[in-house]
């Protein structure tokens, strides 16, 4: 029967279960399942008929079909860059009004002598911005939210702040040598950049 699914529990085969009974058990992506559609054992994450179930649980399993390509990721990056520029511009305007009303000198923050420090703070802020958003339920920055992109681990789950921070620090390596680490997104089946591969993460596009 098409509903004859089997599981491995305590090193023993249990079942059969219908498709509905299988989902009611609360499957994990790594659980081994014998599907009547393939007649062989697979992890639950590899069975297409269970992908919708996992999506409803907030688990977005990375596949070749839902992997976000380079252009979607570039668009999200551009949106984030614009957001950061607007925030910096708003800060500059605020400091200008603050200086006008108080007489305090704030221009030293943008002094050429502090240019390196300012850029360093900007880079760190950009990394933290991405890491914090990726570790939240949104699973991505403002740009990724708009483009319906999510950062997930190998099991399709939300990543921790520690993994998100490591992923964004690894972007430094992706950026060197003319951004070759980012260009890997073109050649990888699941569009992973070097930093994705190092952090064992994926960027998927959630389609309506």
Three-state helix/strand/coil letters over 23-82:
HHCCCCCCCEEEECCCCEEEEHHHCHHHHHHHHHCCCCCCCCCCECCHHHHHHHHHHHHH
pLDDT band at 117 (very low <50, low <70, confident <90, very high): low
pLDDT for res 155: 87
Higher confidence at residue 52 or residue 186?
186
Residue 159 φ/ψ, nearest 5 degrees: -90, 160
Question: Does pLDDT of 110 surpass 70?
Answer: no
pLDDT for res 145: 95
Mean pLDDT on 78-84: 90
pLDDT for res 109: 52
Q: Give 169-196 pLDDT, tens digit per residue.
A: 999 888 887 888 899 999 888 999 999 9
pLDDT for res 92: 72
pLDDT band at 159 (very low <50, low <70, confident <90, very high): very high
pLDDT band at 140 (very low <50, low <70, confident <90, very high): very high
Question: Does pLDDT of 131 surpass 90?
Answer: yes
**CB contact at 8 A, 147 and 75:** yes
Interatomic CA distance for residues 60 and 135, integer angstroms: 15
Model pTM above 0.85: no
Residue ranges covered by each domain of the chain: 5-56, 70-205
Interatomic CA distance for residues 42 and 86, integer angstroms: 48
**CB contact at 8 A, 109 and 118:** yes
**CA separation, residue 6 to residues 9, 25, 137 (Å):** 10, 12, 32
pLDDT for res 11: 84
Question: Does pLDDT of 198 surpass 70?
Answer: yes
pLDDT for res 115: 66
**CB contact at 8 A, 168 and 111:** no
């Amino acid at each position: 029967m098409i509903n004859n699914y089997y599981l491995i529990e305590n090193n023993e085969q249990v079942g059969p279960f219908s498709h509905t009974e299988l989902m009611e058990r609360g499957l994990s992506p790594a659980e081994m399942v014998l599907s009547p559609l393939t007649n062989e054992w697979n992890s639950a994450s590899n069975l297409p008929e269970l992908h919708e179930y996992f999506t409803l649980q907030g688990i977005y399993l990375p596949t070749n079909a839902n992997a976000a390509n380079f252009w979607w990721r570039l668009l999200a990056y551009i949106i984030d860059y614009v957001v950061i520029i607007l925030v910096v511009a708003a800060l500059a305007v605020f400091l200008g009004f603050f200086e006008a009303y108080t007489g305090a000198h704030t221009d030293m923050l943008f002094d050429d002598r502090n240019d390196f420090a300012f850029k360093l703070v900007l880079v760190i802020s950009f990394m933290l911005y991405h890491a914090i958003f990726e570790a939240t339920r949104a699973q991505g920055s403002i740009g990724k939210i708009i483009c319906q992109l999510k950062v997930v681990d190998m099991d399709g789950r939300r990543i921790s702040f520690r993994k998100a921070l490591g992923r964004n620090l690894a972007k430094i390596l992706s950026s060197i040598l003319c951004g070759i680490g980012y260009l890997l997104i073109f050649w990888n089946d699941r569009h992973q950049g070097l930093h994705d591969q190092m952090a064992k993460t994926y960027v998927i596009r959630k389609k309506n």
